[in-house]
Amino acid sequence: MPRGYGSHAEYMQWVKGDADHRQRVIEEALHQAFSGFIETRSVDVIVFSGMSAIKLSKAIFAHPLVFKPLLASCNIAPPALSKGTSG
């Protein structure tokens, strides 16, 4: 266990600032990448059914920060990453 904390609660406090920042950065990138396809509900939802494959690829290419979260949310990241496409 790294120095500076001794419990899960202390660890969560230790990483909270970085995690909160990362969340804001990812949210901003998702909004930029998919701005024309987001519907506001109780949470923001990206409506992929309204996107062509070309628009999806262009959004990911223009905002590569969203790629890994998209893979994770589709539950395809472990097989894809295990084949050497991590990034």
User: What does the pLDDT look like over 35-75, one tens digit per residue?
Assistant: 999 988 888 888 888 999 999 999 999 999 999 888 888 77
Residue 22 phi, psi dihedral angles, 5° rounding: -60, -40
46-73 burial, b at 16+ Cβ within 10 Å, e below that, comes to beeeebeeeebeebeeebeebbeebbee
pLDDT tops 70 at residue 87 = no
- Mean pLDDT of the 11-36 span: 92
Quote the pLDDT of residue 72.
80
pLDDT tops 90 at residue 27 = yes
- Mean pLDDT of the 17-35 span: 94
